[in-house]
A and B are shown apart, each in its own frame.
Chain A
Amino acid sequence: MREIYYLDAIREALTQKMETDERIFLIGEDVGLYGGAFGLTLGMLEKFGKDRIMDTPISEQGIVGIAIGAALMGLRPVVEIMFSDFLMLALEQIANQAAKIYYMFGGKASVPLVIRTPGGGGTGAAAQHSQSLEAILNHIPGIKVIMPSTPYDAKGLFISAISDPNPVIFIEHKLLYKKVKGEVPENIYSIPLGKADIKREGKDITVVATSLMVHKVLKVAENLLSKGIDIEVIDPRTIKPLDLETILNSIKKTGRVVLVEEACYTGGFTSFLASEIQARIFDWLDSPITRITGLDCPIPYSPVLENAVIPSEERIEKGILEIFK
């Protein structure tokens, strides 16, 4: 099968869905001629025209609200928020409006809306362009949160997101865009939301990781095989809805678990996951649940500092080895 980049897989998914569904349009800052800050939408303006690839002023809250209004009227907007940090500008419309409309209105109006946004650090963009904010979003009932780690998952999950009748936040990782290539079918296919993927089978320990961290953990898994540790790597792919069953079954098999995420330690998504694991399968655990996360500070600029904050392969490897001491 042909291999394409993560960024191209997302563009292909959006393009193919737009070709088949006239209700879909993309709206965001510089998504047109500029092609988006990361070039993900390059060429789409020429293909679909300015009414379906809509450039907007810099007005995140307004853009999300406008997309909600259009969704209520039966269209299927896809919003691009240039950096996930800027979601904070639109949080009113996401948290108070989009997430709650279906519920507040007694199920009589839904908001089929996808918000695509690049998250994560490692680019030297510092504190306001590098955050991993999924835990904040995950906390809000009524929205779904997706964090694909591979081109295959990105395309299939995007197709599902755009077909979902609820608001979905699709968090891409900037470092995956043009660095990760993978096999992607040319046709339209979907991956159900709420289905984890076992990225590597192993028998000694389960490592759950999201987004870019999946790739770091996979490398660590190769290293540790020579030391006789066989790691099972699970990527939840969608953190809301969360496929707890696949994760728990894996831990029952291995008896040990490490949770890896790029976001800050306090209140991170994996702290919730850790709580669920101990509550449900405490007796199956042979060692304490370990979390390896970003440090509790803003993402710093200097590469030395940034590397110290975001979990590195070394830190992940060390964390896993600790358990087997």
Chain B
Amino acid sequence: MLQIRYFEEQVDQLYIRGEVHGTGHLYIGMEAVAVGAISALEKNDIITSTHRGHGHCIAKGADLKLMMAELLGKATGYSKGRGGSMHIADVSSGNLGANGIVGGGIPIATGAALAVKKMKTNQIVLCFFGDGATNQGVFHESINMASIWSLPIIYIIENNRYGMGFPVEKAVNIDKLSKRSAAYGIEGFTIDGNDVIEVYKTSAKLIKKIRDDSIPVILECDTYRWKGHSKMDAERYRTKEEVASWKKKCPIKKYKDYLLGEGILKPEEIEKIEKDVQAEITSATQFAKESPFPDPEEAIRDVYAQID
């Protein structure tokens, strides 16, 4: 969680200083969802991510250096500078990619679940998306097919209260998005997405069940993004008080308090972890900054995969 938090804070600083060319969407405040759920996976399990995807990518074990280099548009980045923030994938670690289209990853994740079922690899797919994506037609199409074919997948709704600036209360007429599971004859749960232990425990329980039975499930995690939707957001749709109230429910502070309260870690141990992670981010940033930009001639390469 700290890796994600510090990475995003660093990215925010780089945006503010104009050192990042494009836009990006920060995961600050939502760290417990990606970390809790992905921690419950085996290494070879699969995820798909979203436009707000740095958190999932880091939680799945991505290399911070290659991520930061991609954000700075460098040749050493995950996508050689072609993808940027919204298109980082790390297929070798089971991350089938972020996605710039809201809901775009839902059928892709479903197809991955179909593939693992066909290949009998006993892998699980976690499909992350926001509350906004639940109103895309492809949400319905995909989950319906996952249900009729009993695919091993958890659809994780990161309900951060807003689809860009449109409040979830205005976007849907139900109190819990997980209730939509009823339409597909599958189970749906809503949990506190800022409590990493709850997310982990629920995910682990569901994953075990899915590995045994191969079924799809919807898991809604209530959470909140602290920063604006993207680089350009005047945040006219919410109050400072609302943001402040959610900051009090910081997932990292909650977990830190738990670790200290239970005597699992001492304050100085936590301090050391914080320092180490900060150093990791600094070195990733340095790597990215020192990396070369791609050759302009690279722009037209890799449009098509070559026949072996």
Contacts and interface: CB of A to CB of B under 8 A. Distances in A.
A66 B119 contact: no
B198 to A, nearest CB: 29
Interface in B76-120: 77-80, 82-83, 87, 89-92, 96-97, 99-101, 104, 106-116, 118-119
B305 interface: yes
B308 interface: yes
A166 interface: yes
A180 B144 CA distance: 39
B80 A106 contact: yes
Contact of A62 (B96, B145, B308): B145
Interface string B32-48: 00000000000000101
B110 A62 contact: yes
A107 B80 contact: yes
Given A56-B145, A106-B79, A164-B307, A69 B108 contact: yes
A65 B138 contact: yes
A243 to B, nearest CB: 16
B141 interface: yes
A175 interface: no
Contacts of B303: 102-103, 141-142
Contacts of B118: 25, 51, 70, 75
Contacts of A61: 107, 137-138, 141
Q: How large is the interface on B (under 10, 10 to 19, 20 to 34, 35 or more residues)?
A: 35 or more
A163 B145 CA distance: 27
Contacts of B89: 101, 104-105, 108-109
B306 A69 contact: no
Contact of B107 (A65, A74, A75, A166): A65
Interface string B161-196: 000000000000000000000000000000000000
Q: How large is the interface on A (under 10, 10 to 19, 20 to 34, 35 or more residues)?
A: 35 or more
A165 interface: yes
Given A59-B144, A69-B113, A73-B115, A64 B107 contact: yes
Nearest to B80: A106
Contact of B110 (A65, A110, A141, A165): A65
A71 B304 contact: no
A246 interface: no
A65 B106 contact: yes
Contact of A109 (B91, B107, B115): B91
A163 B308 CA distance: 10
Given A61-B137, A97-B104, A109 B96 contact: yes
Interface in B60-87: 77-80, 82-83, 87
B142 interface: yes
A140 to B, nearest CB: 10
A292 interface: no
A70 B114 contact: yes
B297 interface: no
Contacts of B48: 69
A93 B104 contact: yes
Nearest to B107: A65
B111 A105 contact: no
A59 B119 contact: no
A69 B113 CA distance: 8
B288 to A, nearest CB: 15
Nearest to A60: B141
A201 interface: no
A96 B104 contact: yes
Contacts of A92: 101, 104, 138
Interface in A45-100: 51, 56-57, 59, 61-75, 77, 92-93, 96-97
Given A110-B305, A142-B303, A142-B304, A62 B115 contact: no
A243 B107 CA distance: 34
Interface string A111-145: 01000000000000000000000000000011010
**Interchain residue pairs A-B with the least CB separation, the first 3:** A69-B111, A65-B107, A62-B141
Interface of A: 25, 51, 56-57, 59, 61-75, 77, 92-93, 96-97, 101-110, 112, 141-142, 144, 163-166
Given A74-B115, A104-B87, 12 more contacts: A25-B118, A57-B141, A57-B144, A59-B141, A62-B110, A62-B144, A68-B107, A69-B110, A93-B107, A105-B89, A144-B304, A165-B305
13 contacts: A61-B141, A62-B144, A65-B106, A65-B110, A66-B107, A69-B108, A72-B91, A73-B112, A74-B115, A103-B303, A105-B97, A106-B80, A108-B92
Interface of B: 46, 48, 77-80, 82-83, 87, 89-92, 96-97, 99-101, 104, 106-116, 118-119, 137-138, 141-142, 144-145, 148, 301-308
